[in-house]
A and B are shown apart, each in its own frame.
Chain A
Amino acid sequence: MAELVAVIASTHHPFYYRASTATGADRPPFADEWVAKIERFRQTLTAAEPDVLVMVGSDHFHQLWLDNMPQFLVGKAPFFDANWHNEEREFGLPRMTLRGEEELAAHILRDGLDRDFDLAFSNELRIDHSITCPIITLRPEADLPIVPVYTNIFAPPLPQPRRFVQLGKALREMVESWDSDKRVAVIGTGHLSLELGGPRQFGEHGPDPEFDRRAVEWIAGGDIGGCLAEVSLESLHSPGNATHGFMDFMLMMGVAGEGQKADHVDTLDLFHTMEAYFTWYPNGVPTGTGAPA
């Protein structure tokens, strides 16, 4: 069976690409520290030597629209083009094409349906920065095949937080029941407290540093029970109007498992948001560097 070699949860800040590639007067003062943290984070994936990446993210009204909105969707295609006009315009993100792992996508769809997750699918999916940001930060070579999994954290009515956790737990079982000798990493991105288009946006910090502190504790300690006891669809409005993206972190806590402490935890307090990076190794910390033999 396939081996789950790393579980990674991250924020997806679309400004990282521009900040990290800017030079001279255009380079923001926080860029060097940000890049150093990202390079350490990247090494946690490299060391796991994955063959395939399952990428959990959320379409931001790019291909998925209100006339036909899935709650959970799996991309099954040989390739995925990536990034959209408004992401090039606002964030300077490059156009990309990633390979797909159709065999694993087909397995997740069949196995997921049989586990009572009524997953939608797409055979022609252009992915957005929720998936390309972690490719840029964690695997800039963009050389591994992916299976994108989109969740709806964006267009209410949304699934309940517990459903994200349940899907995460099931996704792990789906990966580990794939009849393959491949090494699979599951990478998911979301947000801590975040406000977009409201009065609390673009402050000196994220809109709710206290929520961020507690969220990092929940994630780092694998405290699914504590998190579910505090977080509801209603409560997530309070830290910031885009904070429902935190539910993708909850999905990743489900993949990692109840009580599983993260092997790598890092944060960066930026204007506008708290960045947060977590890696779990389900089968122990790898001993190699991930460098080719």
Chain B
Amino acid sequence: MSRYLLDKFLYTVDRDPELTERYRTDPAGTVGWWEAEMAGRLLNCTDAERTTWLSFTEDERRALREHDHVTLFEMGAHPFLTLTLFIAMFERDHGPLEYQRAYGRAMAHLSLPYPDIAT
């Protein structure tokens, strides 16, 4: 499992408005491109200094491709990162707090202890 890489995806997509929109409209294409081009990019370094060993599992790819925030939560992706990015993508289609509440309701079957989010 590559929880760190899930978080890195959510973090880098959230902070770039073009990537956020691209992930909203083309999740499968964005996940494939991101894993090939961005997963190994060490954020505080030049492109020549790439990380060589990071990749998603197939289940992780699927959860990201399907915008499946419930599975991401169950995998231990950082809930703040997932929530912030998903609000950015989907709040626009809903009334005040409507999306946030639906997001919570979709996880109503989950109980403590929540999945570990340590990386």
- Point out residues on A near B: beta carbons under 8 Å: 60-61, 65-68, 84-86, 89-90, 154-157, 195-203, 237-238, 241-242, 271
A78–chain B nearest beta-carbon distance, Å: 22
Extra contacts, 6 of them, besides A90-B84, A237-B112 (Cβ < 8 A), are A86-B14, A156-B116, A196-B83, A197-B79, A201-B103, A202-B97
Q: Which A-chain residue is minimally distant from B119 (CB atoms)?
A: A66
The number of residues on chain B lying at the interface, defined by a beta carbon within 8 Å of a beta carbon of chain A, is 39
The answer to whether B100 and A89 touch across the interface, beta carbons within 8 angstroms, is no
Interface residues of B in 101-119 (CB under 8 A from A): 101, 103-105, 107-114, 116-119
Q: Chain A at the B interface: mostly helix, strand, loop or mixed?
A: loop
Any A CB within 8 A of the CB of B8: yes
Q: How many pairs of A and B residues are in contact by the CB < 8 Å rule?
A: 79
**20 cross-chain CB contacts under 8 A:** A67-B42, A67-B43, A68-B44, A85-B17, A86-B14, A86-B15, A86-B88, A155-B78, A157-B118, A197-B69, A197-B73, A197-B82, A197-B103, A198-B104, A199-B104, A199-B105, A199-B111, A237-B112, A241-B114, A242-B79
Contact A198:B79 (CB < 8 A) given known A68-B44, A157-B118 = yes
- Point out residues on B near A: beta carbons under 8 Å: 4, 7-8, 11, 14-15, 17, 42-44, 69, 73, 78-84, 87-88, 97, 100-101, 103-105, 107-114, 116-119
The distance in angstroms between the C-alpha atoms of A94 and B80, with both chains bound, is 21
Chain A contacts of B7 at CB under 8 A?
66
Q: Which B-chain residue is minimally distant from A154 (CB atoms)?
A: B80
Q: Which A-chain residue is minimally distant from B99 (CB atoms)?
A: A202
B52–chain A nearest beta-carbon distance, Å: 15
The distance in angstroms between the C-alpha atoms of A217 and B107, with both chains bound, is 32
Contact A66:B114 (CB < 8 A) given known A197-B80, A198-B107, A241-B79 = no
Chain B contacts of A154 at CB under 8 A?
80
Among B11, B80, B97, find the residue whose CB has the most chain A CB atoms closer than 10 A.
B80
Chain A contacts of B42 at CB under 8 A?
67
**A-B pairs with lowest CB-CB distance, top 3:** A197-B79, A197-B83, A199-B107
Q: A156's contact among B14, B79, B101, B118, by CB below 8 Å, is which?
A: B118
The answer to whether B79 and A196 touch across the interface, beta carbons within 8 angstroms, is yes
The distance in angstroms between the C-alpha atoms of A156 and B76, with both chains bound, is 12
Q: Which A-chain residue is minimally distant from B84 (CB atoms)?
A: A86
Chain B contacts of A271 at CB under 8 A?
97
The distance in angstroms between the C-alpha atoms of A66 and B43, with both chains bound, is 10
Q: A238's contact among B17, B69, B112, by CB below 8 Å, is which?
A: B112
The distance in angstroms between the C-alpha atoms of A197 and B76, with both chains bound, is 11
B87–chain A nearest beta-carbon distance, Å: 6
The distance in angstroms between the C-alpha atoms of A90 and B100, with both chains bound, is 12
Chain A contacts of B103 at CB under 8 A?
197, 201
